[in-house]
Amino acid sequence: MKTMPYNFSSYGTSTRLPSSLATNVNYGKDLSAAYDSLSVSLATGKTVNSSYDNSVLYFKDMRLNERAAGLDSVLDSVGKISTTLSAVDDSISALTELVQQAKASATYAAESVNKPAKMTSEYGFEDEQVLTDISGFKDGDEIIIRTGNMKEMTASVPVEKKMKLSELGIETGDSFNIKVGDGEWVTLKVADEDMRVDAFFGQLTTLIGEDKLKYEVKDGQLKLYSPDRSPILVNDAHYAPNGEIDETNTEPNMASKLGFDLGTTITIREGETIEEFMDELSALDGITASLTSRDKLQITSDYGDDLVIGDLKGDVTEFMGIEGGTESGNNLRLKYSEQYDELLKQIDDLVNDSTFDGLNPLKGDNIRAIFNENGGDVRTITGVMLDSESLGLSPSVGDWQDPADIANALSDLDAALAKTRAAANKFEQDAAMVTSRENFLTGLSNTSKNGAELLTKADLNEVSSLLLAIETQQEIANQVISLTLESSANILSMF
């Protein structure tokens, strides 16, 4: 029986390989380890990827990268602040433009002269002439005079189409009284207080005629208007079944409950002279009554608003020939004051919308800026209040009919512009400081990253070449091992 001098059935640790084979196997293992290490270097771009590679360089690299990561986190926060300050600058620029536009409106108003609207009677009168001595004039006759838009009226109480009348405090039995053009007074009573607003005013326009009166509800406002530009008057009286005004019922009616302009009622008194009548009219704000050179009664809307006059009781204005309305005036100062008031609303809207990352620096919110990774370097960027009230701007007074009110507004606007410019300068300095610190942090972060890279950076060309060389050596080693095993097998076959 032949016996084998070596047992190759197992390559355990207890088996001794021929020295040449063991050398080649160990060499192959070394090549594999080197190949794995270089593969990691090729993937990471680093020569040191663990503390086993080089503990000193590994931990230096780790510390530098940790600081760079901390600085990058700070930079993210600082970048948001920089963006916020840039947006704040844009908001203040827009705000300054609005204040400048408001100043332009006030300047135009100061330079404007209103064109009064006038209505003149058909007949002549004398100062001492007693009205009730004139045929057709009676004690207790009443006229209504109104200034404003002649052909339309808007309710001041918020209204929606589908609202019930009862939601507006209107009750069954209330009525709406309106006079359009040279027509008679029309009264529409509320039969059911649960009727909707659109249903009631739909009936009203049908009753008068849609060629004479229409209504609309838009943005919470109820507006009555005349397509043919007829003058409109409303009153708050309660009428008795016989068509006469019920003097005993002084409760508010629909017109006042909805907030319509009722105008002013003038009552003719027994023995009242034309002069006294004119004095009573002239006592109204923006109204002047006088006799022309031809002794005709002239009623003037001094501010240039449209003028509407009509009879409530009797036929005084009809007999005088002053019934109706006129659009001959032009209230320029009112128009400019309305522009100004709208601009103040836009200023407040802009400030309210200037919220960035949950903060509104234009409403006094402060911004906390951290400039290092441990939170020890903190700066506070203080906010300012730039809404219209804080700027010292208030809505126009008296529709700017008094030049003194316009002068006060111009003075306030100059002060407001100074505040916006000071705020712009402050935030510009804040932005410059943040930008400077941002640039510094960016440089510091890059320095840390570059330092770490220099410590452990691998030459990828060199690593690729080494990997190629190792692959070649591995192939040679494998061939040597194969030849060695084949030689051993040939020898064993001889036994």
User: Percent of the chain scored above 90 by pLDDT?
Assistant: 56
Instruction: Give the pLDDT of residue 367.
Output: 86
* Pair 147, 288: CB distance under 8 Å: no
Are 394 and 407 in the same domain?
Answer: yes
**Long-range pairs of 341-349 with CB within 8 A, sequence gap ≥ 24:** 341/395, 341/396, 343/98, 343/101, 343/102, 343/105, 344/102, 344/388, 344/393, 344/395, 346/98, 347/95, 347/98, 347/99, 347/102, 347/387, 347/388, 347/391, 347/393, 348/387, 348/388
- Please determine, for residue 14, whether its predicted confidence score (pLDDT) is greater than 50: no
218 φ, ψ to 5°? -145, 130
CA Rg, the chain, in Å? 47
Distance between CA atoms of 143 and 134, rounded to whole angstroms?
16
Helix (H) or strand (E) holding 122: strand 117-124
Q: Is residue 255 part of a domain?
A: yes
Query: Rounded to the nearest 5 degrees, what angle is found at the Cα of 136, between the Cα atoms of 132 and 137?
Result: 30
Residue 407 confidence (pLDDT) above 90? yes
The domain total for the chain is 3
Q: Give CA–CA dist 43/50, Å, rounded.
A: 14
Read off the pLDDT of residues 317-340 as tens digits, 9 standing for 90 and up.
988 889 999 999 999 999 999 999
Q: Are 452 and 68 in contact (CB under 8 A)?
A: yes
- Residue 348 within any structural domain of the chain: yes
Per-residue pLDDT, 17: 45
Residues 326 and 339 in one domain: no
pLDDT in tens, 31-51: 666 666 666 666 666 666 655
Residues 73-100: b if buried by 16+ CB within 10 A, e if exposed: ebbeebeebbebbeebbebbeebbebbe
Domain boundary among 285, 301, 330: 330
Residues 6+ apart with CB under 8 A from 162: 196, 197, 198
Torsion angle of alpha carbons 342, 153, 206, 323, nearest 10°? -150
Least confident of 69-83, 322-336, 458-472: 458-472
- 99 φ/ψ angles, rounded to the nearest 5 degrees: -65, -40
Together in a domain, 131 and 255: yes
Model confidence at 15, pLDDT cuts 50, 70, 90, reads very low
Where would I find the beta strands (DSSP E) of 280-433? 287-291, 296-301, 307-313, 324-326, 367-370, 378-381
- In terms of domains, do 308 and 339 share one? no
Percent of the chain with pLDDT over 70: 77
In a domain, 340, yes or no: yes
Residue 70 in tokens: 């901390």
Asked whether residue 316 falls in the same domain as residue 376, the answer is no
CATH of the domain at 417: 1.20.1330.10
Of 330, 357, 382, which one is at a domain's C-terminal end? Answer: 330
Query: Are 230 and 132 contained in the same domain?
Result: yes
Given pLDDT bands bounded at 50, 70 and 90, which one contains residue 469? confident
User: What span, in angstroms and rounded, lies between the C-alpha atoms of 170 and 197?
Assistant: 11
Residue 301 lies in a domain: yes
3-state secondary structure of 348: helix
Domain boundary among 299, 330, 361: 330
Q: Check: CB of residue 306 under 8 Å from CB of residue 150.
A: yes
408: domain range? 69-110+335-452
**How confident is the prediction for the chain on average, in pLDDT?**
84
Regarding whether 425 and 369 lie in a shared domain, the answer is yes
How does residue 135 score in pLDDT terms, banded at 50, 70 and 90? Answer: confident
